[in-house]
Chain A
Amino acid sequence: MGRYIARRLLYAVPVLLATTFLIHAMVFVLPGDPIQGLAGDRPVPAAVLAELHRRYHLDDPLVVQYAKYLGGLLTGDLGRTFTGEPVADTLAGRWQVTLRLGLTAWFLETVLGVALGVWAALRKGRWADNAVLAGTTLVIAVPVYIVGYLAQLLFGVKLGWFPVAGAEDGWPTAYLLPGLVLASFGVAYVARLTRASLLENLRADYVRTAGAKGLPRWRVVVRHTLRNSLIPVVTFLGIELGSLMAGAVVTEYVFNLPGVGQQVFQAIQLREGPTVVGITTALVLVYCLANLVVDVLYGLLDPRIRHDQ
């Protein structure tokens, strides 16, 4: 197992190099002049333009820019934003926000999703099952920012249960509503996945055998069926941990949470190369690690899967 993990971590190095280069190329090769874009409809004095170009290495060829960026990366320098702040500093205050939001959403997704899925599967064809199916279809169909604004109006303004926006009330108060909104799509997906997988396994021979030999029904469902049925769900939840961190962009924008997603949203708008590349590098790392955790978990859920041959 140790060797397997070490090998997987080594694989992450070329993945990181390739992704940072691709993102770098895509961000920097775009035509146009980000400094001019910042100034809007006003011309920028030539001397100011020259200075800002020099400061952000905008005139260097792509390979030189990338080399300078990698050099900086090795010494812990992620570059500077267009307002002159080091990217590393801006990230330092932000990743906790995104992590809190992502984990809150992930937790809600796991608990609510699996619970709803099991409930629907055990009541197949009855109103509870139909309600879950209809509800999840609706949630999957509605874009997340609409869910977000509606939730703000309902729970923040009308009912006053949660703060409308901002992270100032701290965890958990400030994170529950955005967490729920961010999780909404995943909850629906996990619930449907759990339901389908559980239903399939409930028809299996070994379940009938377990029931026939007199095991209590809850034991049959929880120990025998659910454990097997959770393998596709765990796969989804593992990858979802990475996507939640990355997918927080819209939620952080709507709920005004000062996290990484909000930053990347603004950086893309302003074409701030270093910020975009720095954040994506971090996200690629999270993705690699999440995938590794999922693969290790498979072995625990299903003893037939072995990593060291």
Chain B
Amino acid sequence: MLTARAGRLPAALLALALLAVAGSAAAGCVRRSDEDPGPVPDVPGGTFTVALTEPDHLTPGRTTSSYSLQVLEGLFDTPLALDPADGHAVPLAAESISTDDQRVWTLHFRPGARFHNGEPVTAASYADAWNAAAYGPNGWEANGYFSQIDGYAALNPADGAKPPTDRLSGLEVVDDSTLKVTLGAPFSQFPMLLAFPAFAPLPKAAFADPAGYDLHPVGNGPFAMDGDWRHQQRIDLRRAGGYTGPRPATADGVHFRIFTSKDTAFTELRAGHVDFMASVPPSRAYEAKRTFGKRYSVRPSGTMDYLGLPLWDTRYAKPELRQAISMAIDRRGITRAIFNEVFAPADSLVAGMIPGHRAGACGETCEYRPERAKELFDRAGGFTGTLELYFANSDPTYEQWMTAVANELKQNLGIRAIAFRKMSGADLGPILNGHKATGPYRQNWVVDYPSVQNYLAGLLGPNNRSGWSDPAFDRALALGNAAPTAAESEEHYHEAESIALRALPLIPLWNWQDQTAWSSRIGNVLVDPYVAGLHLEKVTVRH
């Protein structure tokens, strides 16, 4: 009898352990993602959960990360906002904005606005916030966004010395609701810049305890913080009680759950524990389409990938060679094979969703024409030595598409020796900025405001990475910046774009698109392709 028991002892232990594992399984009800209980009623109240990646900061001037911006969309009202339909600037915290010469701008703010802690929002709240961000020694990440304002150079000495003042000379608080902004040069796109969260106002508390404020930002938007930001875990917002602005919140609250892995976040969305996800990984495109159906959308984004060329290396000096490389790349094939058709082949230097984008601006040069490419390649005198491709190791798809590009250059142009220079972003940045690369590199651009000018000035302005410059290009940009109407500005920007596309220091590759999916619990989901992301205040919840 004892022997028999001994035989079963380990089996019993095993069963016990298994029971312990299974027994504590969560018994709570599980909402399944694939059920469709019909449209969400349009009533206020309820809370919903959004999947997020850890933001870097929640103080508006200290971040440019899109994950932070999604939270700040709820917490802050910027002076202006971008119309979700076409990206033109519309009033938000400001009632009006006016200028006569595109250089001196006058902002009038809505009266009676208050921060979540009751402090009145005045013109000085804006000036203080902008001064703090523009002051170099503060080391705030959005510093560069203020470079157009008069006095920026004085706050950011190139040698890192201590600036003589901590205020932008171009800001003048006229009265509690009026702010006069003087720019260094005329800049017709300035209103769009004012929709960027770094231009939001800050209360006095932000300066008294910056570290505490970053964990619990007090804003002027439709939602307020509900408890502190719990790093790597969650951020909770609740409807702000005293909000008087033009976009009150519909839901009672928003929970952001922070994930390190987007795949895990997507699994949580499928399990029904998360209601909204703004960037489903491209590798799960087909699964998302199948599972979420109508609640899945691919929306255009302003992010572009380019192949940058080192013009200081004489081998890349001839435009024909650069065009040959461009025409040897099968953009459609690569976006299909590597990005599951979520990314769109580029036909211009700017993304398709930007007002002023010209379809086919790049023409034949951005199409896949292997024979023509070979012809141009031979006319340019071919290529000698090793062609090195530079890219960062931060995402495995970079190497995948670079490999595809390398194979096409081998096949279509007959360049035999191709090498990869793959390294961390920390190493690649200084090499590219210091003009030390000896081959084409991955160049990416995330748009700040939806204007052709943002791409052209950001990528090809003074001291750009490719080392290209053309006075005609600079002149066209400056004319666009000073033009009195949007249409006239656009005309000059288009001219500048055409100049850059003829010279081709940057080869447009493809335009990123974001895959969004959401649960059947939420309705009125408006995701805009500009800075705002999901319009949190508009979301309705089934509850």
1-53 of chain B: CB within 8 A of chain A: 2-3, 5-7, 9-11, 13-14, 17, 21-22, 24-26, 30
Cβ of A155: which chain B residues have Cβ within 8 Å of it?
25
- Given A47-B136, A122-B7, A160-B26, A37-B429 contact (CB < 8 Å): yes
Question: Would you call B139 an interface residue if the criterion is a C-beta within 8 Å of the partner chain's C-beta atoms?
Answer: yes
Contact B9 A218 (CB under 8 A): yes
Task: State whether B24 touches A33 (Cβ < 8 A).
Answer: no
Known: A46-B158, A47-B157, A254-B261. A161 touches B25 (CB 8 A): yes
Chain B: minimal CB distance from A121 (Å): 9
Interface locus among B184-192, B244-252, B266-274, B339-347? B266-274
| A to B contact number (C-beta, < 8 Å) | 196
The residues of A that contact B382 with a CB separation of less than 8 Å are none
Q: What's the Cα separation between A173 and B20 when bound, in Å?
A: 11
Residues of B within 8 A of A252 (CB): 260
A interface SS class: helix
Q: Which one, A11-19, A255-263, A279-287, is touching chain B? A: A255-263
Interface 0/1 of B221-242, CB less than 8 Å to A: 0000000000111100000000
In angstroms, Cα B143 to Cα A42, docked, is 12
Whether a CB of chain B sits under 8 angstroms from the CB of A246 is no
Q: Flag the segment in B99-107, B165-173, B200-208, B419-427 that touches A.
A: B419-427
9 residue pairs A–B, Cβ–Cβ below 8 Å: A42-B64, A47-B136, A156-B267, A216-B3, A217-B2, A253-B261, A258-B232, A262-B260, A266-B54
A51 at the interface (CB under 8 A from B): yes
Residue in A37, A41, A52, A93 whose beta carbon sits within 8 Å of that of B444 in the complex: A41
Residue from B17, B139, B160, B429 within 8 A of A33 (CB atoms): B429
Q: How far is the CA of A285 from the CA of B260 in the complex (A)?
A: 27
Chain A residues in 8 Å Cβ range of B13: 111, 115
Q: Could you mark each residue 128-158 of chain A with 1 if its beta carbon is under 8 Å from any beta carbon of chain B, else 0?
A: 0000000000000000000001001101110
Could you tell me if A37 and B424 are in contact, using CB atoms closer than 8 angstroms? yes
Do B267 and A52 touch (CB < 8 A)?
A: no
Contact with B along A211-243 (1 / 0, CB 8 A): 000001110011000000000000000000000
For residue A78, CB closer than 8 A to chain B, the reply is no
Task: Kindly supply a per-residue 1/0 record for chain A positions 156-179, scoring 1 wherever the CB is within 8 Å of any chain B CB and 0 otherwise.
Answer: 110111111111110011001000
Q: Is the CB of B10 within 8 A of A50?
A: no
Q: Which residues of A contact B (CB under 8 A)?
A: 30-34, 36-52, 55, 82-85, 90, 93, 108, 111-112, 115-116, 118-119, 122, 149, 152-153, 155-157, 159-169, 172-173, 176, 180, 216-218, 221-222, 252-256, 258, 262-263, 265-266, 269, 271
CA distance A173 to B24 in the complex (A): 6
B140 at the interface (CB under 8 A from A): yes
Q: From the candidates B11, B64, B160, B233, name the one contacting A119 in the complex (CB within 8 A).
A: B11
Chain A CB count within 10 A is highest, among B2, B13, B264, for B264
- Name 18 extra pairs, CB < 8 A, besides A32-B430, A36-B429, A161-B26: A37-B425, A41-B429, A43-B463, A45-B147, A47-B157, A83-B56, A83-B57, A108-B21, A115-B13, A149-B267, A152-B264, A157-B271, A160-B26, A164-B268, A173-B26, A218-B2, A265-B260, A271-B426
How far apart sit A42 and B144, CA to CA, in the bound complex (Å)?
10
User: Given the interface contacts A32-B424, A52-B139, A119-B11, does A255 sit within 8 Å of B429 by beta carbon?
Assistant: no
Interface assignment of B296: CB less than 8 Å from any CB of chain A: no
Nearest B residue to A47, CB-CB: B136
Min distance, Cβ A199 to any Cβ of chain B, angstroms: 14
- Among A38, A52, A152, A176, contact of B24 (Cβ-Cβ < 8 Å): A176
Question: For A52, what are the chain B residues with a Cβ–Cβ distance below 8 Å?
Answer: 139
CB atoms of A262 and B232 under 8 A apart? yes
- Contacts A157-B270, A165-B259, A258-B233 given; indicate if A108 touches B17 (C-beta within 8 A): yes
Q: Are A47 and B425 in contact (CB under 8 A)?
A: no
Contacts of A172 in B (CB 8 A): 24
Do A51 and B160 have beta carbons less than 8 Å apart? yes
Chain A minimum-CB-distance residue to B137: A51
Q: Which residues from 417 to 467 on chain B have a C-beta closer than 8 Å to any C-beta of chain A?
A: 423-430, 433, 443-446, 458, 463
Q: A112-B17, A119-B11, A253-B261 are in contact. Are A216 and B2 (CB under 8 A)?
A: yes
B140-175 at interface with A (beta carbon < 8 Å):
140-141, 143-144, 147, 155-160, 163
Q: Is the CB of A119 within 8 A of B260?
A: no
Q: Are B143 and A45 in contact (CB under 8 A)?
A: yes
Take A48-B136, A258-B231 as given contacts and tell me if A160 and B30 are in contact as well, using a CB distance cutoff of 8 Å: yes
User: Most chain-A CB neighbours within 10 Å: which of B429, B430, B458?
Assistant: B429
Contact of B264 among A37, A168, A255 (CB under 8 A): A255
Quick one: given A116-B14, A119-B11, A153-B267, are A221 and B6 in contact (CB under 8 Å)? yes
Considering only residues 271-295 of chain B, those with a C-beta below 8 Å from chain A are: 271, 273
Contact B429 A256 (CB under 8 A): no
User: Cβ of A160: which chain B residues have Cβ within 8 Å of it?
Assistant: 26, 30, 271
Partner of A36 from B231, B270, B433 at Cβ < 8 Å: B433
A262 to B233, CA, bound (A): 11
